[in-house]
Amino acid sequence: MPAKTDVVSNEIKLQLYSLLYKTRATEDRIIALYRQGRIMGGVYTGRGVEATTVAAGLALEKQDYLFPIHRDLGAHLAKGQSVLNILLQYLGRGNSLTKGKDSGIHMSDTTLNIIGNVSHLGAMIPVAVGVAMAKKMQNEKVVTLNFIGEGGSNIGDFHEGLNFAAVHKAPFVLVIENNQYAYSTPAHKEYVCNRLSDRAQGYGIPGYHIDGTDALGVYATIKKAIEDARNGKGPSLIECLSMRMVGHSAHDDAFYVDKEQMKKYEKKDPFLRLEQVLRKEGLLDDKQIKRIQDTIDKEIEQATDIALNSPLPEAHWAAEGVYAE
């Protein structure tokens, strides 16, 4: 059962709205830069799952650790990452967080307690559990949150990591972003259990199945799981159901996706949905919306300028930094 949303303050609601807009606008800019041939490699966006990733990122405290995966640009932003750092990273610039050594949003920021992912997404689960365990050993009330897709939930590390966390009562929250497709493979070919959150029972931990397009519901539920973890109650598994509204990556037109299902989820667009709720609650009107969006658009514009004018890495850096001193 999702937690009640009346615990979400107006301030948080507005932050969620801003972040949802910022996520979408930044991803749109990234796609534009990709189409212009300025960004190389893969571009994976969170269209359709933004409510989950943004709300989860925002529910964490400053001292908490975030382990995002490839569609979680929104969580990076919610944890405090700048649009500029994200664009520098995508553009492979020398002054990006990975100095051009890794792609997409595979980036860590130790000042924000964000640890980036490898492409074997499930492989991050045990690592995130390790951070949680270490913080517990260091007697700090720090929670670690990690995402996985419904696709990645079938890899062995999902089981090993979650079971390990449960046995050792690690302060850990695992969020399944169930967007119903693993590349081209539909959910019914990925698993046959009713809900992925039911797997929690097998580990003896709480499992929640919620609407991943409802930013307020996601925030409230994840916040509760985070505070439970902080208070020594151990890990939780939260399945957030949404729909990937684009292809697997920017090159993929997703011809294989069920069109009826797409239509259904178009009506549940996380961003428009929250906008409607906040308008109804009197927290937003046209003027405020324009002000918020203009501010963000300007930030993205400036960040793009700076990023495009930033230096490329020096070629010989490729040979450096394999080992720590």
Q: How far apart are CA 45 and CA 272, in angstroms?
A: 17
Least Å from the CB of residue 137 to other proteins: 6
Give the residue carrying structure tokens 């995966």. 69
Among the residue ranges 43-51, 109-117, 181-189, 278-286, the one whose residues contact other proteins (CB under 8 A): 109-117
The vertex-64 CA angle with 63 and 65, nearest 5°, equals: 125
Query: Beta 65-67 vs 144-149: how paired, if at all?
Result: parallel
Distance CA 65, CA 80 (A): 12
Contact 175/145 with Cβ under 8 angstroms?
yes
291 near other proteins, rule: CB under 8 A: no
CA neighbor of 65 nearest in space, from 140, 163, 12: 140
200 binds other proteins (CB under 8 A): no
Provide the minimum distance between the beta carbon of 317 and other proteins in the complex, in angstroms, as a whole number. Answer: 10
Which one, of 146, 164, 167, lies nearest residue 156 by Cα?
A: 164
Q: Does 139 bind other proteins (CB under 8 A)?
A: no
Active site residue 248: yes
Quote the Cα angle for 216-52-109, to 5°. 115
- Would you count residue 321 as binding other proteins (CB under 8 A)? yes
Residue 168 among the catalytic residues: no
Closest CA to 143 of 169, 107, 120, 123: 169
Q: In terms of CB distance, is 2 or 161 closer to other proteins?
A: 161
User: Among 204, 193, 271, 263, which Cα is nearest to 236's?
Assistant: 204
Interface residue with other proteins, options 27, 102, 228, 269 (CB under 8 A)? 102
Nearer to other proteins, 82 or 108 (CB): 108
Could you say whether residue 202 binds other proteins (CB under 8 A)? Answer: no
Is 256 annotated as catalytic?
yes
Asked whether the beta carbons of 188 and 162 are under 8 A apart, the reply is no
Q: Work out which of 12, 132, 175, 303 binds other proteins, going by CB under 8 A.
A: 132
CA distance linking residue 199 with residue 237, whole number of Å: 8
Q: Is 164 in the site for other proteins (CB under 8 A)?
A: yes
Taking CB under 8 A as the rule, which mask of x and - marks residues 5-44 in contact with other proteins? ----------------------------------------
Nearest-approach distance from CB 41 to other proteins, in angstroms: 14
Select 64 or 150, whichever has its Cβ closest to other proteins.
Answer: 64
* Tokens 């390990």, located at residue: 164
Element (H, E) at 277: helix 270-280
Amino acid at 5: T
Q: Which of 244, 279, 316, 323 is catalytic?
A: 244
Mark residues 45-84: x for contact with other proteins by CB under 8 A, - for none: --------------------x-------------------
Catalytic residue, chosen from 248, 265, 279, 316, is 248
**Residues near other proteins, by CB under 8 A:** 65, 97-98, 101-102, 106-108, 110, 115-116, 118, 120, 123-135, 137-138, 144, 156-157, 160-161, 163-164, 167-168, 321-325
Tell me which residues are annotated as active site: 244, 248, 256
